[in-house]
Structure 1
Amino acid sequence: MITLHALKYSRATRVLWLLNDLGQPCNRIDYDRTSAFRAPDELSKVHPLGKSPVIVDGDEMIAESSTILRYLAAKYGDTSHQPAAGTPAFWRHEALFDYVEASFAEVALQVILPAFNGEDAPRAAKAALADHLDYIASEVGGGRFLCGQTLTLADIQMSYILALLERMELLGDHPKVLAYWQRLQQQPGYIAALDAAGPMAPPR
């Protein structure tokens, strides 16, 4: 059975979500954040950088939530969370999947982190975030999710940053993205993950 090292209020919820969708159990080891909202020293005994999530599967130790999601989909032969391999839709999905952490997260955190500290983000940071939220809205288009009517790995990956943005009340001017996020929160795997491990974002 896979062991999941899960930091509270973190990207680990993404992994639990997919495992629930796949009907696969895990041995979950939970870690509380420090008073400074950082990962505890115990996680550095699991991964040199104190990463979470981290999964251990036999001799394999894998960090980075995107890699973990891809690993789990491959391990369990899941084809329901991605378009058919090699198609244009598949490569669009892969680009959106990697976009979340490669591009969107950095921009979003430049606004989220000041908000956590009760500070106002620079105007340029807020403008950049607005551009990205407009982009996400356009990618959702008229469908329920990023790739139409079917939930994909890209949607699961997107969830954590959207949870933080909603927590800081930063989605109000972007109703299409907010509606998309609300649809994600209605998914059974997401609900089961929160029931098991608590919310993605810290409470107000």
Structure 2
Amino acid sequence: MTTNIPKAGFKLAKIAVGAAVLIGLGAATMAYAQTKPLQTVEKVELDRYLGMWYEVARKPLVFQKSCDRDVTAVYTLNENGNINVNNSCFAKDGTKKQSIGEAFVQNAPFNTKLKVSFLPESIRWLPIGRGDYWVLKADEDYQTVLVGEPRRKYMWVLSRSAHPVQAVVQDYLNYAKSVGYDLSDVIHTKQTAK
């Protein structure tokens, strides 16, 4: 006895199998990207990196959960050669939030891997409570940058402009995805600056 499968049903079955294969390949590619060591840019010229950056996208972070809009980071050089970090944002109720920290270069003269501490200044010299800050992608004019860390839990896209070209932001997000970041929960930061 033979069964006749309608052509439309056979075609749908082929499409379903094809979709399952593509989803499986995508998951395998993501798993591989997440186990491959995370690469940074070749070198960061700190004097060009310093200054004001606007956050345009990020992964959700516990310490930024109260940030609703206008998230910025200002980097300046300290007298001791480390980098002063001044992060600020506004909560939904309009309250300004600010965190002052210090970044320590881990791989001079390449300057692509830093550790950042927001501990009180008197104990920041202790090598504890420091988070990784790796520069993963940057344009040669230092106008847009992708920052992350090796476990791929945290990620930021920063720009010199509060309203960068969205195609550029998407390019940086696509790159983040290609190196193993899960972007299903990415937050696009609201910036009200003109």
- Under a length normalisation based on structure 2, what TM-score does the superposition of the two structures give? 0.26
Which structure has more strand as a fraction of its residues?
2
- Under a length normalisation based on structure 1, what TM-score does the superposition of the two structures give? 0.25
Which structure has more helix as a fraction of its residues?
1
Q: Which has the larger radius of gyration?
A: 2
